[in-house]
Structure 1
Amino acid sequence: MSSLNIPQTCGVMLLPDCTLFPHGGLPLHIFEPRYREMLQDTLEGSCFFSVARLLGPETDNPGSCVAPIGTMGLVRASRELDDGTSNLLLHGVIRVRFTEWLDGPYPLARIEPVPSIFEPESQSKGALEALHEAVESVTRDLPGEVREALTNMTSQIDDPSILADVMAQQFLHDPDERQDLLEMESAAARIAWICKKFESGAPQ
């Protein structure tokens, strides 16, 4: 993460019931004029913008209707269509806290990175083993090829904090639980929550 130049301010896409986790992917169709302008500025600049969950109807004051923590993402691919809209893939990079909302043609905020580090490091191996057991449980009833692909993907991740976010992105569906998990600052607490949630299989 230290090799990335995280901007102090960025555009923010406000979406109802949508939470992106670091290391997850989010396909988006950009059609609103304000977000088309945001995307153009993003591609001409850092290629970063954030996604934030709307907690109710959008108001003129995002601070009153937007969750305090979202995820900054990097535009991995973007294709403009003939009608001026765009399809893109946003790759989650890091949790961010929205510290101040600024005036602009689209939602714009000052941000503070919220790093995710698993501590103590001596327990990383045990945390990984517990998460891999949860992967086996949550994928048990999936088709063989899908299960194998997911198992192969997760088995290559050696950081329990990253694996927890990948699992949340892939397997957790309830919008409120996703946002609550995103906002947990303790990686160890997130891992414990995920293992308990998935110990009996896929969540309903």
Structure 2
Amino acid sequence: MMTSADLPETIPLFPLPGALMLPRTRLPLHIFEPRYLAMLDDTLKTAHRLIGMIQPREVPEGAGKRLHMIGCAGRLTGFSETEDGRYMVTLSGISRFRIQREVSGFAPYLRADVSWGGFERDLGPTEKDPDFDRPAFLDLLGRYFASQDLSTDWDSLKEAEDEMLINSLSMLCPFDPEEKQALLEAPSLATRRETLVTLIEFGLRGGSNEEIMQ
């Protein structure tokens, strides 16, 4: 298990719209662009093997920051190479971070100095949600999945721990990037669950993104 002392000041960034990773989850990725293949090669040479997943911002050219300020770093824990030089990799979520500044250099990919402050619970034990009403939540989820024509292993959902259930659904449900960012930035498991419920309810009502994020 990584500690705060293991976290570096500078990490590579992988901007990927709609790809949400949370602490103590796993995110599979298919990497094939040359700049990200270079990022992967460089990451494998480090002791921490961390890559920062970050959401791009939808802003007009020159109108502001290209990236959200908060992302989640994952440790490279699995990879395989295809015959044509691509990689199938797995990142294990370690901790969220806040971008301090982007770092210029010769690398073809983005890098940033980051702060890990404020996300200490990410390195701690599995979070609990004492007020989680699982039967009511699963009933709501069932209606949402039916409306979206989605299927799942309901037995596994019923048996999953609170954190695994809430975080997995946050990652897998077909929400917009800004909605995924709201789930990422939730300060606790309980607030993430509340945000998730709100997004599902708006999805069932056919609410717009603007309504959800206000």
Please tell me whether the aligned partners of residues 78 and 88 of structure 1 are also in contact (alpha carbons under 8 angstroms).
Answer: yes
TM-score (norm 2): 0.71
Alignment of 1:110 onto 2:117: no
Please tell me whether the aligned partners of residues 24 and 165 of structure 1 are also in contact (alpha carbons under 8 angstroms).
Answer: yes
The corresponding residue for 1:121 is: none
The corresponding residue for 1:81 is: 82
Spell out the pairing of 1:156-171 with structure 2 (5 A cutoff): 157=162, 164-171=166-173
Please tell me whether the aligned partners of residues 81 and 88 of structure 2 are also in contact (alpha carbons under 8 angstroms).
Answer: yes
Structure 1 residue 70: Cα displacement: 0.9
CA RMSD in angstroms comes to: 3.3
Spell out the pairing of 1:91-130 with structure 2 (5 A cutoff): 91-104=92-105, 105=107, 106-113=109-116, 114-115=118-119, 117=121, 126-127=130-131, 129-130=132-133
Separation in structure 1 between the aligned mates of residue 58 and residue 195 of structure 2, nearest angstrom: 26
Letter in 1 for 2:133: A
Please tell me whether the aligned partners of residues 131 and 163 of structure 1 are also in contact (alpha carbons under 8 angstroms).
Answer: no
Select between 71-80 and 1-10 the one with higher mean Cα deviation: 1-10
The corresponding residue for 1:41 is: 42
Q: Which has the higher strand share?
A: 1
TM-score (norm 1): 0.74
The corresponding residue for 1:17 is: 18
Separation in structure 1 between the aligned mates of residue 134 and residue 119 of structure 2, nearest angstrom: 20
Provide, for residues 78-106 of structure 1, a one-character-per-residue CA deviation record: whole Å limited to 9, x for no partner. 11222222111112222111111101311
Could you list the runs of 5+ residues in structure 2 that have no partner in the other structure?
Answer: 123-127, 207-214
Letter in 2 for 1:86: Y
Structure 1 residue 196: Cα displacement: 4.2
Q: Identify if the C-alpha distance between structure 1 residues 126 and 199 changes in structure 2 by more than 3 Å, giving closer, same or farther.
A: farther
Q: Identify if the C-alpha distance between structure 1 residues 58 and 37 changes in structure 2 by more than 3 Å, giving closer, same or farther.
A: farther
Separation in structure 1 between the aligned mates of residue 181 and residue 15 of structure 2, nearest angstrom: 14
Please tell me whether the aligned partners of residues 8 and 112 of structure 1 are also in contact (alpha carbons under 8 angstroms).
Answer: yes
Structure 1 residue 190: Cα displacement: 2.6
Please tell me whether the aligned partners of residues 95 and 119 of structure 2 are also in contact (alpha carbons under 8 angstroms).
Answer: yes
Alignment of 1:178 onto 2:185: no
SS of equivalent to 2:133: helix
The corresponding residue for 1:137 is: 140
Separation in structure 2 between the aligned mates of residue 163 and residue 117 of structure 1, nearest angstrom: 18
SS of equivalent to 1:56: coil
Please tell me whether the aligned partners of residues 116 and 186 of structure 1 are also in contact (alpha carbons under 8 angstroms).
Answer: no
